[in-house]
């Protein structure tokens, strides 16, 4: 029976230690004065190649600033979800990635530290960056982030198919339709395109349309939008020269292009490393998107470095942020060759190295950031559904957009 | 097996005297403390908190800025068309999956309970999908059901044109239902199997002596004796189907497409919480769903009779 007593005491101790272990933690990483300061850098490093670029940048930064240590916080899961929980727990990284799309919410909710003061103090010249990118991270006159890199859309075309059909990359909408017709034969389609705003918007804007007006209200059913949507939808339904990746039996446009099911896609620079791996022998070219008349348009998909309002080492955090977006820091972006650097001067260097990617850099001048205000996600959803029902249910574009607009009220 | 109830309830009075510092009940609670604590911290606590959130306009981005909005979030549920669509889809999914799932599980259990050859193999084969993660299953079905996938190839032999099943407004949800039945039926089969083996053989012997055929034995002995098992399975199945999320998330890429055809309540809730930053509204949806499941379970209880206690 003595044994029993001991057992119960032991289990009690175990039980209590469980509880204490749960409640513990917290006060770690409080740096004393004089010692090196640790800054956390959070990001969704979507590929090993991207992570390597950041690691190289960080190593260079630490070399220049021996009193600052940088810890990488890599988020490979759903980035927005994890970031929200970190922010709610006030445990977010000091400096982190922020995509243009959810940026308005973050800026409005006061999660981020306004950078204007630091920008002035450290003589950062915002006009050295591509304007459309910088604008994506400004809210009510304040700047909250400095863009790190971007990609726009370009027309990727299969050189062999174009040669066989005897056509040139289309420069206008009419040419696009004609070329697509010539390229469609048997199982092969002219164009793969998924029904969503992140591919359609340039066409809406070229036609004089807009998704959100100057006051920030959605204008999905703008007559020019309907006209452009009808033009694209006709490529699917009337001319049968375009198809969605799903209908082609692939996951996304990139697969359709790599597997030579289509001759053209509108995609970003992320296609280049993808094609290198999946279809290394495919000969393809990149051109600017076809225009309706004269005015071209494009979308800039960009990510900025932003600073947490709760950071305990804001001066040091800005130093890191400044370095990452400086010419020195962006040299690694150029060398990495994944996305385009956000600094105009580095864009030129990028072109020296990769002249064939000119279409992306040219487009950023007239591109709009991929961003639709605080309710951006809902608006994109509504538009996508309209675009989908125009194709799947053969609904007239105007009717589909009217419905979408009504849903947003 | 249960014919002779043994006496379990006798208390050894001698043991009580020696309990020393702690009385037995206290000791019992101490033993269960780790579970009680972890459950209250990670389950009950968050549930209560979510209940509070459902009355607020809350977002993770600005927890301090939350405002009390009363019943607004709940009232919004009645106007939100996409939510109605999600609830409709979920109900269709549940109504379609449960009867099929339960009947197939019963048939499979009867088969693997009979004296056929290689029944261990079949038991394993039917149970295997259950231990596979739903995400892996979904990805596998994405391949099977895609336009140039195996299913279309097979249907091609009968002259049925190929289609992209998961991207078709009409067929996306039914395709996921088929997948759900396939992947969960094994789990319920095992529960039925346990139920079947609990039925005393003497009942069948007595029935045989009375001249009952196989069908009568099944109808008047097996089915009634399996009633508690069926109740359990149907309840679990309702809960499972109303909370369906992973399959839709993977197959539609998170947006419930095409055209909201695969939008379910939990998927909608997730998107509201983490993409539209409306955690308060998402919590209200969660509690609405909780009430729906609770009510359905209570109705079940009535339907299966009061004597059925879980």
Q: In this structure, what is the dihedral angle of CA atoms A153, A154, A158, A161, given to the nearest 10 degrees?
A: 110
Nearest neighbour of A18 by CB, restricted to B20, B37, B149: B37
- What is the sign of the dihedral through the CA atoms of A213, A219, A220 and A224? negative
Among candidates B27, B81, B167 on the partner chain, residue whose Cβ is nearest the Cβ of A246: B167
Cβ–Cβ under 8 Å, residues A129 and A347 = no
A292, A306: one domain: no
The whole-number average pLDDT for the span B136-147 is: 84
Q: What does the pLDDT average to over B67-95?
A: 89
State the best of B50, B61, B63, B276 to mutate against chain A, taking most chain A CBs within 10 Å. B61
Q: Distance (Å) from the C-alpha of residue A56 to the closest C-alpha of chain B?
A: 31
Instruction: Answer yes or no: are the C-beta atoms of A159 and A285 closer than 8 Å.
Output: yes
Tell me if chain B has a CB within 8 Å of the CB of A310.
no
Residues of B in contact with A85 (CB under 8 A): 60
pLDDT in tens, A142-162: 999 999 999 999 999 999 999
Nearest to B259 among A11, A244, A392 (CB): A392
Domain for residue A20, yes or no? Answer: no
The CA distance from B282 to B287, in Å, is: 9
Cβ atoms within 10 Å of A46's Cβ, excluding its own: 12
Q: Evaluate whether residue A8 is within a structural domain.
A: no
Count of beta carbons in the 10 Å neighbourhood of residue B103: 12
Please indicate if any CB of chain A lies within 8 Å of the CB of B130.
Answer: no
Last residue of a domain, one of A361, A385, A400: A361
Instruction: Please check whether residues A145 and A172 belong to one and the same domain.
Output: no
For residues A217 and A309, state if they share a domain: no
Tokens of A255: 């697969």
Instruction: Mark whether A193 and A141 lie in a shared domain.
Output: no
pLDDT for the residue numbered A9: 57
In chain B, where the domains are located: 74-304
With 70 as the cut, is the pLDDT of residue B305 above it?
Answer: no
Bridge partners (DSSP) listed for residue A265: A156, A192
Does residue A193 belong to any structural domain of this protein? yes
Question: Does residue A138 sit at the B interface (CB-CB below 8 Å)?
Answer: no
pLDDT digits (tens, 9 = 90+) for A30-67: 444 557 889 999 988 878 888 888 899 999 999 998 89
Token pair listed for B56? 């607020």
Cβ atoms of A316 and A68 within 8 Å: the answer is yes
Alpha-carbon distance values, A326 to A140, A352, A358, B128, B287 (Å): 25, 19, 22, 54, 49
Question: Which of B179, B235, B199 has its CA nearest to residue B110?
Answer: B199
Buried residues in B190-208 as b, exposed as e (16+ CB within 10 A)? bbbbebbeebeeeeeeebe
Euclidean distance between CA atoms A176 and B38, whole angstroms: 61
User: Which of these, B106, B82, B52, lies nearest to B280 by C-alpha position?
Assistant: B52
Q: Looking at the 3D structure of chain A, how many domains does it have?
A: 2
A297: its two tokens: 């348009």
Q: What does the pLDDT look like over B29-79, one tens digit per residue?
A: 888 999 999 999 999 999 998 898 899 888 888 778 788 888 888 988 888
Closest to B27 (Cα-Cα) out of A19, A4, A1, A17: A4
The pTM of the full predicted model, rounded to 2 decimals, is 0.80
Q: Which CATH number characterizes residue A214's domain?
A: 3.40.190.10
Q: What is the CATH number of domain B74-304?
A: 1.10.3720.10
Specify whether A331 is located in the same domain as A294. no
Within this chain, do residues A253 and A378 fall inside the same structural domain, yes or no? yes
A292 and A339 co-located in one domain: no
* B1 pLDDT above the threshold of 80: no
Whether residue A99 is found in the same domain as residue A233: no
CB pair distance less than 8 Å for A249 and B147? yes
Note whether A319 and A390 are same-domain residues: no
Q: Could you say which of A1, A85, A249 has the minimum Cβ distance to residue B60?
A: A85
Same-domain pairing of A128 and A162 = no
Whether residues A133 and A272 fall in one domain: no
Scan for tokens 């990139």, then name that residue. A254
Residue A138 vs residues A108, A131, A141: alpha-carbon distances, Å: 10, 11, 6
Same domain, A355 and A403: no
Say whether residue B37 is in contact with chain A using an 8 A CB cutoff. yes
- Indicate the pLDDT class of residue A28, thresholds 50, 70 and 90: very low
* pLDDT tens figures, A75-115: 887 888 889 889 888 889 999 999 999 999 889 888 899 99
Q: Is residue A383 part of a domain?
A: yes
Judged by DSSP in three states, A105 sits in: helix
- For residue A374, give the chain B residue with the closest CA: B276
> For residue A376, what are the domain limits?
154-299+370-408
Which DSSP symbol is given to B44? I
**The pLDDT of residue A153:** 92
């Amino acid at each position: 029976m003595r044994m029993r007593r001991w057992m119960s005491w032991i289990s009690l101790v175990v039980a209590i230690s469980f509880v204490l272990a749960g409640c513990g933690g917290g006060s770690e990483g409080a740096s004393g004065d004089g010692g090196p300061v640790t800054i956390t850098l959070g990001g969704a490093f979507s590929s090993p190649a991207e992570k390597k670029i950041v690691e190289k940048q960080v190593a260079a930064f630490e070399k220049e600033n021996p009193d600052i240590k940088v810890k990488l916080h890599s988020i490979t899961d759903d980035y927005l979800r994890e970031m929200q929980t970190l922010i709610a727990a006030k445990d977010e990284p000091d400096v982190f990635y922020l995509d243009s799309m959810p940026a308005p919410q973050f800026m409005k909710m006061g999660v981020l530290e306004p950078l204007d003061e630091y920008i002035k103090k450290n003589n950062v010249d915002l006009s050295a960056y591509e304007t459309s990118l910088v604008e994506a991270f400004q809210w009510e006159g304040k700047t909250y982030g400095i863009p790190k890199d971007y990609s726009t859309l370009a027309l990727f075309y299969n050189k062999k198919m174009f040669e066989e059909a005897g056509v040139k990359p289309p420069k206008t909408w009419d040419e696009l339709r004609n070329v697509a017709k010539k390229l469609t034969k048997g199982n092969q389609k002219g164009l793969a395109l998924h029904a969503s705003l992140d591919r359609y918007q340039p066409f809406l804007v070229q036609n004089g349309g807009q998704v959100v007006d100057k006051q920030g209200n959605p204008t999905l059913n703008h007559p020019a939008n309907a006209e452009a949507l009808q033009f694209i939808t006709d490529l699917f339904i009337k001319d049968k020269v375009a198809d969605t990746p799903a209908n082609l039996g692939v996951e996304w446009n990139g697969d359709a292009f790599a597997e030579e099911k289509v001759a053209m896609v509108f995609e970003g620079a992320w296609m280049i490393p993808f094609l290198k791996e999946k279809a290394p022998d495919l000969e393809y070219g990149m051109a600017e998107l076809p225009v309706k008349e004269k005015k071209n348009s494009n979308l800039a998909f960009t990510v900025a470095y932003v600073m947490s309002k709760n950071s305990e080492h804001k001066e040091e955090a800005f130093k890191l942020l400044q370095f990452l977006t400086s010419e020195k820091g962006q040299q690694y972006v150029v060398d990495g060759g994944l996305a385009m650097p956000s600094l105009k001067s580095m864009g030129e260097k990028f072109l020296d190295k990769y002249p064939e990617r000119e279409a992306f850099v040219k487009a950023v001048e007239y591109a709009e950031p991929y961003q639709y205000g605080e309710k951006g996600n809902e608006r994109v959803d509504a538009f996508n559904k309209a675009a989908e029902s125009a194709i799947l249910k053969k609904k007239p574009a105007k009717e589909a957009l009217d419905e979408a607009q009504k849903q947003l009220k | 097996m249960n014919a002779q109830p043994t006496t379990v309830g006798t208390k050894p009075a001698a043991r009580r005297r020696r309990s020393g510092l702690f009385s037995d009940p206290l000791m019992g609670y101490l033993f269960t403390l780790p579970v009680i604590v972890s459950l209250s911290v990670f389950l009950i606590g968050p549930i209560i908190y979510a209940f509070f959130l459902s009355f607020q306009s809350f977002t993770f981005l600005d927890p301090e800025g939350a405002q009390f909005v009363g019943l607004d979030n709940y009232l919004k549920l009645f106007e939100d068309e996409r939510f109605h669509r999600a609830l409709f889809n979920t109900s269709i999914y549940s109504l379609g999956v449960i009867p099929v799932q339960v009947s197939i599980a019963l048939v499979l259990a009867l088969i693997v309970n009979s004296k056929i050859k290689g029944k261990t193999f079949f038991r394993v084969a039917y149970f295997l999908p259950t231990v596979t993660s739903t995400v892996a299953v979904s990805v596998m079905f994405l391949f099977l059901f895609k336009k140039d996938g195996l299913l279309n190839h097979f249907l091609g032999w009968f002259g049925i044109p190929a289609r992209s099943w998961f991207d078709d407004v009409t067929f996306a949800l039914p395709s996921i239902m088929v997948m759900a039945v396939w992947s969960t039926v094994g789990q319920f089969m095992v529960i039925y199997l346990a139920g079947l083996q609990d039925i005393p053989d003497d009942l069948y012997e007595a029935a045989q002596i009375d001249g009952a055929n196989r069908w009568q034995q099944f109808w008047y002995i097996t089915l009634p004796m399996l009633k508690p098992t069926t109740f359990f399975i149907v309840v679990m199945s309702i809960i499972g189907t109303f909370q369906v999320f992973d399959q839709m998330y993977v197959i539609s890429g998170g947006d419930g497409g095409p055209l909201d055809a695969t939008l379910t309540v939990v998927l909608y809730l997730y998107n509201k919480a983490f993409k539209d930053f409306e955690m308060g509204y998402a919590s209200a949806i969660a509690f609405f769903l909780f009430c729906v499941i609770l009510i359905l379970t209570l109705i079940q209880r009535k339907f299966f009779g009061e004597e059925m206690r879980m």
